[in-house]
Structure 1
């Protein structure tokens, strides 16, 4: 019996038709040393069937097999990297073919800062796969050039610079184990401009227009997590209006993300040192955004605790 006939019969019997099982396909790639192995292990722990180091030429064939038998492998993660010959050209062709055939997939790109990648390679005492006779940094630069366009087209770009193994596994779990309706996961991050912009930020808000609690002696030792600092920041002129309008501006973005199957975004809020203003505003934005349906919000403070 076909799925359509079965559904029609269920409706006539007064039963709710069962939605056909649809396989999930996740393509995992990114910079060498950014945590692909850890991500693979975390996905496998949560029921994903993981295929590592798959030649891109085989991606379409494997996806087609899974799409025709989703009950067998409902969640497939395919890991590809620069060790595959002709990675960029072949994977772009393969992903284009998937889109053309109607197979739904997501692309996860793992990244990290150059300094962190160098340190990880040095700690592991192994060369970068593209460095040849040069330095590790030469290999990293070559890989960034090869993967630039792929990174730009990714559904999720996850910067692992500040993660240890457990932190990355937790992030992957939060991103890819939702079994309910399609949700947008937002990470609202505070940071200090003097320490640099977060590389994975989708939106950046500047809180430096707010009077700085650093110059109020009784507030300086505290942070934006403390009520006295938070009240000082949020009650300053223009701050409530700023938060209201920023949240309102994000409404069509959230709906567009759902439509385009983009499930993760980082909203970064910065002040000078990432201790007072950005922290208080990030917490308030998180509270407001968490009220929207099918939106989950986490809050992180990148530079809180720095001197």
Structure 2
């Protein structure tokens, strides 16, 4: 990605020109904070990790001391339990003061993940959990989750990365914080397989296992819902047309109401048995529809990448 793709002048209209955009990235250790900061840096933010809380206000004030600053500036700051002198109460106090400043456009992002996924990530990287130096990783995860709960409550965005790849996280952050971003509802459309559990952060879930299953058609089985033969097969199911017509009308009617209630992001998930054919096809169709209707849309296929990696290993690729 081009690190110079976003310039200060790209960030938005006249009201933003005198405001510094600040994104505080926090959350659980192992949930993806470093990846998130790297993604924001690619979007044009100046990224600072593990900044002591006492220096936070000084950092966002540097712009005022520089007479040659650009019209609009963007800063991403990583803060978590590794940050020196970190205390939830202290964080809340600093946050309250920063939110009152008219020269700042402040957003707090909290990255979460399941205990099992975090434990696996620490095991795979052979890193010590910052709160479990001399004890099992599970103990440190639980201690940190309790400690960070008040911080989570103050977040503007909570992203659960349990089922996200680094690429998925970057795409979501790009959709949410890209320079052309305006205040509007960000919709994530996701496919998944029921045997692997429900998506943890889904707001609306639809079961599409009533559609006829390409898995039982030999030539379609190795394909996916993104492939045209599978799409044609499912689209020919009379049940799909009735379902999709009702679903389209409902979503187009409801999404503006969610936005009107101040909801910043919404996740709509479609599930089937394998997460390969039916849910993928429906998610693709809905994402296309909502994009055409003017919504900002992220499209994620939770199982598809994993399935393809397994198949590639099986073929020795």
State the TM-score, normalized to the length of structure 2: 0.75
Give, in whole Å, the separation in 2 of the partners of 1:152 and 1:201: 18
What secondary structure is seen at the aligned counterpart in 2 of 1:120? helix
Structure 1 residues 111-190: aligned runs within 5 Å: 111-162=112-163, 168-179=169-180, 181-190=182-191
State the TM-score, normalized to the length of structure 1: 0.77
Give, in whole Å, the separation in 1 of the partners of 2:191 and 2:110: 22
1:48 to 41, 45, 50: 45
Query: 2:8 is matched with which residue?
Result: none
Of residues 66-75 and 90-99 in structure 1, the stretch that sits farther from structure 2 once superposed is 66-75
What residue ranges of structure 2 are gaps of 5+ in the alignment? Answer: 1-12, 311-317
What secondary structure is seen at the aligned counterpart in 2 of 1:290? helix
Note closer, same or farther for the CA distance 1:272–1:96 as it changes in structure 2 (3 Å cut). Answer: farther
Query: 1:22 is matched with which residue?
Result: 19
> What displacement does 1:139 show?
0.7
1:245 to 231, 246, 250: 250
Give, in whole Å, the separation in 2 of the partners of 1:76 and 1:215: 52
> What displacement does 1:71 show?
3.4
Work out whether 1:110 is the aligned partner of 2:111: yes
1:204–1:268 contact (8 Å) kept in structure 2: yes
Q: Which runs of 4+ in 1 moved over 6 A?
A: 67-70
Q: Write the deviation string for residues 257-278 of structure 1: whole angstroms up to 9, x where unpaired.
A: 5xx6x3x443221122212221
Query: 2:75 is matched with which residue?
Result: 76
Give, in whole Å, the separation in 1 of the partners of 2:64 and 2:198: 40
Of residues 59-68 and 103-112 in structure 1, the stretch that sits farther from structure 2 once superposed is 59-68
2:18–2:71 contact (8 Å) kept in structure 1: no
How many pairs does the alignment contain? 286
> What displacement does 1:25 show?
0.9
Q: Once superposed, what is the RMSD of the aligned Cα atoms?
A: 3.2
> What displacement does 1:224 show?
2.3
2:275–2:303 contact (8 Å) kept in structure 1: yes
What residue ranges of structure 1 are gaps of 5+ in the alignment? Answer: 1-16
Q: Write the deviation string for residues 165-223 of structure 1: whole angstroms up to 9, x where unpaired.
A: 56644554444232354454433110011101222334333323444444566654543
> What displacement does 1:151 show?
2.9
> What displacement does 1:26 show?
0.4
What secondary structure is seen at the aligned counterpart in 1 of 2:97? helix
Query: 1:36 is matched with which residue?
Result: 33
Q: Write the deviation string for residues 44-72 of structure 1: whole angstroms up to 9, x where unpaired.
A: 34331222212334434544555787737
Of residues 118-127 and 230-239 in structure 1, the stretch that sits farther from structure 2 once superposed is 230-239
Note closer, same or farther for the CA distance 1:165–1:136 as it changes in structure 2 (3 Å cut). Answer: same
> What displacement does 1:162 show?
4.9
Give, in whole Å, the separation in 1 of the partners of 2:101 and 2:19: 15
Query: 1:95 is matched with which residue?
Result: 95
2:164–2:302 contact (8 Å) kept in structure 1: no
Query: 1:193 is matched with which residue?
Result: 194
Note closer, same or farther for the CA distance 1:50–1:218 as it changes in structure 2 (3 Å cut). Answer: closer
